[in-house]
Amino acid sequence: MSHIAIPIPPLPGKQEIEVEVTINGLKQQLHYRVELFYWQDCTNPQGHRADCISEMLAHHDPEWTGYYIGAPTDEFVPITFVKEESRRILRGATA
């Protein structure tokens, strides 16, 4: 799969992102969500960060699949999710 990078303005909180792409004349809509997960929200904020991310992802909306884990900061980690129907498009399956 090919990738492109689209800069997203820094806004606080959850960001719902809809992207309409036309590839070889075929229009498709992709739905993404970027959420900031704060380390302080973990049950053990001093523990291993991978365990913390796993704990936080265990409670997310099942209509959204984890797609990309961004660069963590000292305060949070940004995680991008893709909506299930968009995930099928990205895999090349027909919706």
Question: pLDDT tens, 5-42?
Answer: 777 777 777 888 888 888 788 888 888 888 888 999 88
Residue 1 in any domain: the answer is: no
The CA distance from 26 to 15, in Å, is 26
Question: pLDDT tens, 58-92?
Answer: 888 888 888 889 899 999 998 999 887 777 777 77
Q: Counting beta carbons within 10 angstroms of the beta carbon of residue 50, is it exposed (0 to 12), middle (13 to 18) or buried (19 or more)?
A: exposed
Number of structural domains the chain divides into: 1
pTM over 0.95, yes/no: no
Q: What counts of helices (H) and strands (E) characterise the chain?
A: 2, 4
Residue 2 in any domain: the answer is: no
Given a cut of 50, whether residue 95 has pLDDT beyond it is no
**CA distances for 40 relative to 45, 60, 70, 73, angstroms:** 5, 17, 17, 12
Neighbours of 90 (CB within 10 A): 14
| Domain extent for 60 | 15-91
Residue 3 in any domain: the answer is: no
